[in-house]
Each structure stands twice: as C-alpha cells, then as structure tokens.
C-alpha cells in the first residue's frame, strides 16, 4: 500500500536539500524500551505496544528522534551529521486519530552548541514559513539548563533536583512537586508492608514485593515502569520526605518560573533575578547569551521571540535549549524541538554525542493550509 504524503511534501524535501540534511529511512516497528525509558510520561501513555514472536516488547514508531539516534549509533556514523525525516508516527492523541505525519531534522555531533541550537530553530521556522507562506508565526523558547542551574544554586538535594527536572514541561506536575517540597508531610502514605521494606532499605525485597503485586494485578512491566523503577522511586521519595524547601528558596524558585520576556531582554532579566537572590548561575547565563546572539545571526528577531523560564516540553531526554513555534493564534504548536546531549549515551553510544533537533506536526500544518484557502 502506498503512503499518501501531504501535498506540500516536495516543499519540505527541497528545504532539507538546501539545509544539507540527508533523508533517513526509519523502520515503523521499533523496540519499545527506549521510548518507555526516555520519552517521558505523556508519550509513554500513548504508545501502541506489541510483542515479537520471541517476546520482545515492540511498538509502532511514536516519534523520530530516538530511532534516528539509534540508527546513527548502529551505523557507527561519523559526526557532525544532519538527518532529515518525513513519515508517519503512531500514538493515541487527545484530539483524535492515531496516525499522522511528522517532518524534521536531527543535528548530531555539532561542536558549537549555540550555533546548532540557533540553526535548528531557524530550520524549523524556515520550513513552516515555506509551507505556510504569509502566516504569522510565534516562537517560544526555554532552557532546561538554566532551570537546572537555578535548582543547583538553591542547594536542593540531588533527588529533589531530579524530581523537579522530570516535572519540567508539565505545569501541573511541577506545581505538585513544589507543593510536596514545601510541605513534605503531605506526601502520600505508603502501605504498611511497603513502608517497612523502604524503612529497612531492603531494595531487593521491595522490588520483589512490587513485582508480585503487579503480577497479581495483571500488570505488565513493559506497559510502564518496571518494579526496579518503582522501588527506586519509593526509596527516593521516603528519603526526601524529611527535606523541606525554606520560604526564601521557594520564593526564589517561583520568581524564576514566573519570568517571561522577549528574548532580547531575557539574559538581562535572568541576571537580575540571579543577583537579587544571590544565586551563581554564570555558566548557564553565558551559554544562554551566546545562543541568543547566534539566533539573531540566523535572521530571527529576538524581540519577536518570547522566553519563558518555566517553559519546557514533556519529553525526558531534553537537556538545554527548548522551543516551540505556533501560528500566533494561541492554538497547538506546529513545531517543537530542543537539545538532548545525554540521549545518545543512554542509547548506547560509546562516546558522548551532542544533539539538537525539531519535529513539525504536518496534520496541523495541513489544517491551517486548508483554512486559508
């Protein structure tokens, strides 16, 4: 059966050629574990799972970044390298439908991170401008590295930092974690037997207990977190319940997350915030300012780009620069992307390989094109 690509696919392919991004062919059937482990809770719930004849957990391709990175590692390809893709992805969607097209570019191994970030944003903007000529596009950017630098400067225990970073990109989750951090006594109680195992620090017994409970309930570990993951989270939660974020630190964190400014003013606002709260985040600010300069060099007006300190995307593998581009009407984003410097190592690369990329939701683009005709 032939695949019906969007009518504007030739415009996308021509831009890939101009941007020197080579098309790559990615299998529709993928091993499920990398997505379950690294793609984030939101995507994990919407993956279509199946099994091979040998019992391997498989899924229909829910996105392209992880498969492109796995392919790069498997081929032992040299870097830097730019991969382009155009194809179907499969996931359960709130707005209906389970199959839609995405296009994008993954930029792997570029040594100048600021320039690669700026180029990724410019590529996504150029692609949307080409397939939606005359449309007013709005850009929102964030930076998870700045958020992590603030958490570290506040002196939070590493466990709390990890929980907050995992919640970054989901306002509801982030509010819940901050509320628990401010009032740890409100943390949900554990069943007595589980609490006893956690208190004794017997992780092996705790993992075995959880596995037995999951089997009794008919739950498959491949459908979500494994017993080891759950046991680790419970132990971490118990350890952190005695930690409380003081009022000054909580106020500083809330003040940071409330920062919104044009990208042309964002570095100054962040520096003022850090100085006002006595936080040293100089390295993150240097990287942020350097990237802003490169974005300007790409021909994008910083005054027209909104920086939001609390803006993130619900994918666990992001580590730094994050962005979305919309149609300026407050609707769903048309493009989203960001930096993921730890992903390839987690997927098995022998040496660290930095990465940044974006995806375009082509069904949303098609709907806008139809609406303008």
Out of 56-65, 78-87, 210-219, 280-289, least confident range: 210-219
What whole-number distance in Å separates Cα of residue 83 and Cα of residue 121?
Answer: 15
- Assess whether pLDDT exceeds 70 at residue 187: no
Residues 63-86: tens digit of each pLDDT? 999 999 999 999 999 999 999 999
- Assess whether pLDDT exceeds 70 at residue 170: yes
For 253, the token pair is 């964190």
Q: Which residue has the higher pLDDT, 324 or 49?
A: 324
pLDDT tier for residue 185 given thresholds of 50, 70 and 90? low
What's the whole-number mean pLDDT along residues 260-265?
Answer: 98
**How high is the pLDDT of residue 231?**
75
Domains, the chain? 9-143+305-371 (3.30.930.10), 188-240 (no CATH)
- Assess whether pLDDT exceeds 60 at residue 186: no
**How high is the pLDDT of residue 221?**
58
Residues 294-323: tens digit of each pLDDT? 999 999 999 999 999 999 987 889 999 999
What whole-number distance in Å separates Cα of residue 281 and Cα of residue 297?
Answer: 25
What's the whole-number mean pLDDT along residues 175-185?
Answer: 78
Query: pTM for this structure?
Result: 0.83
Q: What HEC string does the chain produce?
A: CCCCCCCCHHHHHHHHHHCCCEECCCCCEEECHHHHHHCCHHHHCCCCEEECCCCCEEEECCCCHHHHHHHHHHCCCCCCEEEEEEEEEECCCCCCCCEEEEEEEEEECCCCHHHHHHHHHHHHHHHHHHHCCCCCCEEEEEEHHHHHHHHHHCCCCHHHHHHHHHHCCCHHHHHHHHHHHHCHHHCCCCCHHHHHHHHHCCHHHHHHHHHHHHHHCCCCHHHCCCHHHHHHHHHHHHHHCCCCCCHHHHHHHHHHHCCEEEHHHHHHHHHHHHHHHCCCCHHHHHHHHHHHHHHHHCCCCHHHEEEECCCCCCCCCCCCEEEEEECCCCCCCCEEEEECCCHHHHCCCCCCCCEEEEEEEHHHHHHHHHHCC
**How high is the pLDDT of residue 189?**
57
Residues 90-122: tens digit of each pLDDT? 988 766 668 899 999 999 999 999 999 999 999
pLDDT tier for residue 198 given thresholds of 50, 70 and 90? low
pLDDT tier for residue 339 given thresholds of 50, 70 and 90? very high
- Assess whether pLDDT exceeds 50 at residue 200: yes
Computed over every residue of the chain, the mean pLDDT equals 88
What's the whole-number mean pLDDT along residues 270-290?
Answer: 96
**How high is the pLDDT of residue 124?**
98
According to the per-residue pLDDT averaged within each range, which of 151-155, 234-238, 259-263 is highest?
A: 259-263
pLDDT tier for residue 358 given thresholds of 50, 70 and 90? very high
Q: Are strands 22-23 and 81-90 parallel, antiparallel or unpaired?
A: parallel
Out of 20-34, 53-67, 177-191, 254-268, least confident range: 177-191
pLDDT tier for residue 373 given thresholds of 50, 70 and 90? very low
**How high is the pLDDT of residue 128?**
97
What's the whole-number mean pLDDT along residues 200-224?
Answer: 72
């Amino acid at each position: 059966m032939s695949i019906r690509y969007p009518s504007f696919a030739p415009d996308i392919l021509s831009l890939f050629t101009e941007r020197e991004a080579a098309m790559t062919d990615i299998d529709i059937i993928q091993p499920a574990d990398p997505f379950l482990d690294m793609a984030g809770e939101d995507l994990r719930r919407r993956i279509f799972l199946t099994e091979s004849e040998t019992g391997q957990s498989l899924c229909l391709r829910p996105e392209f970044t992880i498969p492109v990175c796995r392919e790069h590692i498997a081929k032992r390809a040299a870097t830097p390298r730019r991969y382009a893709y155009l194809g179907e992805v499969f996931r359960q969607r709130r707005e209906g439908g389970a199959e839609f097209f995405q296009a994008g570019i993954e930029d792997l191994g570029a040594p100048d991170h600021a320039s690669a970030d700026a180029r990724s944003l410019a590529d996504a903007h150029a692609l949307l401008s080409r397939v939606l000529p005359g449309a007013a596009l709005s850009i929102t950017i964030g930076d998870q590295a700045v958020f992590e630098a603030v958490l570290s400067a506040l002196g939070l225990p590493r466990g709390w930092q990890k929980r907050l970073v995992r919640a970054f990109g989901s306002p509801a989750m982030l509010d819940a974690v901050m509320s628990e951090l401010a009032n740890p006594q409100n943390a949900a109680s554990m069943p007595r037997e589980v609490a006893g195992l956690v208190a004794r620090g017997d992780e092996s017994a705790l993992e075995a207990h959880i596995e037995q409970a999951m089997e009794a309930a008919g739950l498959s570990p491949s459908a979500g977190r494994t017993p080891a993951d759950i046991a680790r989270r419970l132990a971490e939660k118990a350890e952190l319940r005695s930690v409380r974020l003081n009022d000054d630190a909580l106020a500083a964190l809330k003040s940071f997350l409330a920062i919104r400014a044009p990208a042309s003013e964002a570095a100054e606002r962040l520096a003022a915030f850090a100085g006002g709260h006595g936080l040293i985040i100089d390295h993150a600010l240097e990287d942020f300012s350097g990237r802003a300069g490169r974005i300007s060099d790409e021909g994008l007006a910083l005054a027209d780009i909104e920086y939001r300190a609390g803006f993130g995307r619900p994918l666990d593998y992001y580590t730094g620069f994050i962005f979305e581009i919309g149609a300026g009407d407050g609707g769903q984003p048309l493009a989203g992307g960001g930096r993921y410097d730890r992903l390839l190592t987690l997927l098995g690369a022998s040496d660290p390989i930095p990465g940044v990329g974006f995806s375009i939701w082509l069904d949303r683009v098609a709907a806008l094109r139809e609406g303008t005709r």
